[in-house]
Amino acid sequence: MEPHSRRKKGESDKEEEDERSSDLGVFNIGSIAEQVMFLENIGTSLLVSKNQLPELHQLMLEAAEILNVEPPDLYVRQSPTPNAYTLAISGKRPFVVVHTSLIELLSRKELQAVMAHELGHLKCDHGLWLTYANILSLGAYVIPGVGGFIASSIEEQLTRWLRAAELTCDRAALLVAQDPKLSGGCPSLVDQLNVDAFLEQARSYDKASSSPMGWYISNAQTRQLSHPLPVLRAREIDEWSRSREYNSLMKQAMPMNTLHKA
């Protein structure tokens, strides 16, 4: 009986050691991925400052002041794909990256709204929670048998949370831009865009997806998306721009603007 007991205890210790190793591996994966992204961005992008692209630097400072958040570093990266993103790594200054194609596509006011959207992620610590969620999802895969199912469920809930987070950051952009009108990302066409017609398009989408079949198709269309559909973002920001909460925030901001002008 004694050899058998010792063998069982040794197996148990080995299992616990494997579990600890798996946990450490999960955390190391997250840390390594962050470091790769950090080094890639600072190695391939241009750091904006008061002496380097000062106009963009000022846009970031103004947006950060309005949202009462510490200004992050701002990088401009050469890329034909219009995009902007934020990265916050533990122990390092967070930074925002904007692609050159997006800068060329937008007016300065629109670009500042994009910066404000990214600042919204920092204001709400979205990067921190996203990191935790990703680690949790990776950790679920090591659970024997049901790990894949659990991970898939976590990932589905994560993408739903990501879509909600994007709507929150749209509100941050509105607080800075103070203009709920949407543009198509083309300054030369902005005066011709009909916001009311686009919102009517959003209402048509809601109506089409209200039936059981429409709901199923809509859910299948959006469940894997990290960002809400454009028409839904337009509807949400339009509704919030007319809300009591938004008007209250704008009234609080007015005295601050008066003080700054004085």
Active site residue 40: no
Q: Cα(3)–Cα(58) distance, rounded to whole angstroms?
A: 73
The total number of residues shown for the chain amounts to 262
d(CA 226, CA 167): 11
The strand order across the sheet containing 45-48 reads: 45-48, 73-77, 95-99, 84-87
Alpha-carbon span 104 to 211, nearest angstrom: 41
CA separation for the pair 167, 161 (Å, rounded): 10
Half-sphere exposure of 51 (CA within 13 A, CB side): 0
Residue 178 DSSP symbol: -
The whole-angstrom separation of Cα 155 and Cα 138 is 10
Residues 224/160, Cβ–Cβ less than 8 Å: no
Nearest to 63 by CA among 128, 105, 121, 127: 121
H-helix or E-strand spanning residue 179:
none
Please tell me which residue in 16, 110, 118, 239 is annotated as part of the active site.
Answer: 118
The token pair at 61 is 């400072």
Kindly report the number of other CB atoms within 10 A of residue 195's CB atom. Answer: 13
Instruction: Quote the DSSP letter at residue 77.
Output: E
| Catalytic machinery residues | 118
